[in-house]
Amino acid sequence: MKRKRFTEEQIIGVLKESEAGAKTDDICRRHSISSATFYSWRKKYGGM
């Protein structure tokens, strides 16, 4: 089974940065994720 790189707590932390007003491109670059990954996380964990 593939090991996950980010825990749920880390994912929620990344999404909170976005809610605080940081640009999506900057967040993705800082955490080394693609924008598609960011948006799929936001879709799945957005309400937390």
Per-residue pLDDT for the chain (48 aa), expressed as one digit of tens each?
778 899 999 999 999 999 999 999 999 999 999 999 999 999 999 877
DSSP for 1-48, please give it. -PPPSS-HHHHHHHHHHHHTT--HHHHHHHHT--HHHHHHHHHHHTT-
pLDDT of residue 2: 78
What pTM does this model have? 0.83
pLDDT of residue 14: 95
Cα 22 to chain centroid distance, Å, stands at: 12
